[in-house]
Structure 1
Amino acid sequence: MGGKYEVPTSTFPYKISRRIQCLSLPRRYYMDSYEGSMPQYTKSGTRQSALTGRIVDKSNDMAWPSIRRLLILKRMYKNRFSQERLEKIDRMIEASNGTVYSKMANCTIDLKKMDARDLKKKKGWTDTDWKRKMEYISQIAEPKKVFQPPPVKRGKSMPLEALMPRIEEMSVPPSSKCYKRMSQEAWYRNPLKVSPHALKYVLTDRMKKLATARAVPAGD
C-alpha cells in the first residue's frame, strides 16, 4: 500500500496516514550555543555580563537596604554580634542614610544624636525611685471602686384608685372620623352651576364700551 498511508509492519500492524505518522514522531531538541549575540551564563545560572559589568552610583544606592531594616537588625543582634560586625552595620547605616533615595523618602536620621544615645548608660533605680514605683504599684493593685448611680428623683406618688378614671378614659379606643365628599359639605359650590344673580345681571354702557374690540390701524 502506497500513497497517503504507511505500510503496516510487524510491530504496528495497522493502517495509518503519513500525516499522523509524522505528528507522532518525537520532536528534536536543539541545544542553544552561547556564541555570538546569545547571553552567556555561569554554572550557577548568573549572567556573565552581570559579573563583569560596571556598577553605576544609582544602582549602588538602590542596593542598600532601608535604614529601618538596618536599625532593627542592629537592635536585635546587638548582644550576639561581635564589635567588628556591629561596626560594619554602622557603616552600612551611614551609607544608606546618605543616599538620595533616603532623603526623598524623608527617612534620614541624625547619626550624631543616635551615637550619643547609644553611649548613654542605663542607671539603676535609687531608693527614692523604688519607693515611688512601689507606691504606684500598691495604688493600682487595690480593688476598683464601684460608683453607684445617684437615685432618680421622682414626683409625688398617688394611689391607684385616684388614677383609675384617667386610665379607663385612655383605654377606650378613639372614635374614627367620618369623611364626607366635598359635594356633601355645606360650603361646597358647584363650579358648573351658574349663580342666579349672574342670570339677572344687566350690562351697563361702560361695560359694553370696554368689551368692544379696539380698531387696529392699517399701518401696523
Structure 2
Amino acid sequence: MEMSGLRKVDPVKHEQKRSEILGAAIRCFIWDGFRGASTTDICTEAGISPGHLYHYFPSKMAIIEAMIDLGLARTAERFEKILAAPDVIEALLTDIEETSLRFRPAQILNLDGLAEAARNPEFAKIIERHTKAVRRMWADFLRQAQSKGRVDPGLDPDATADILIAIIDGSRAMPIRNPKLDVKQSTAHLKTMLVRFLSPHEAQSTAGKPRPQSTSRPLKLVRKR
C-alpha cells in the first residue's frame, strides 16, 4: 500500500544536485578557504536555501568529505590512464604539470587544506584519511609499473609513494612562492629528477631531455556576486 504525502526522491536528480552543490562549495573554498567559507556562502553560490542544503549534506564537514571522495575517484582514473600510457614517467610528468604546476585551484586547496589540518583536529582526520588513500593508490600504481618493467624494481613502493606525494605538494607550492615561475624550465628539471629516480637503470641514459611546453591554460574563476 503506497502512503500518500511521501515525496519520492529521483536518484539521478538528487545526485545531479549534490554535484552542483559540491561545485559551488569548491568555488567558495577556493575564494575564502576551508575555514572562511560558510554554509551560507555555499548556499548563496549554489542558489539554494540552508534548509534545502541539508537534504543533501548535513554539515560543511560532510561537504568536504564528499569533495575528498570525488577527488580520490578522479585520482584513481588518472592513475589508470598513466599506467596505460606508452611512457609511464612521461605521462606522470604531464599529469603533475597539468594538475599541479598549472592548476591554480589545486594549488590553493592543497595548501589551505594542510594549513587547516594543522589547527583543526577534525579536519586533520579528513586529511589523514585522504593521504592514506592517495598513498595506497601511489603504491599500487608503482607496483604495477614495476611489474611491467617501467619503474625501478629496487624502489620500495610505500616509501616512494611518500616521496612522490611530497613532490606533488611542493610543485603546487612553487607557483604561489614564485608567481613568475618558469613552468617550462621547472617541468624540464622535474622530468630529469623523476627519470633518474624512477626509471630502471638501463633506461636512465635518456634522462633530462626537455619536452615541449604544455598549451594548457590555468583555470580562471570569476566569483558571482
TM-score grouping bracket, smaller chain normalisation: under 0.3
Q: Which has the larger radius of gyration?
A: 1
Higher RCO (CA-CA < 8 Å; seq separation 6+)? 2
TM-score, normalised on structure 1?
0.25
Pick the structure with more helix per residue: 2
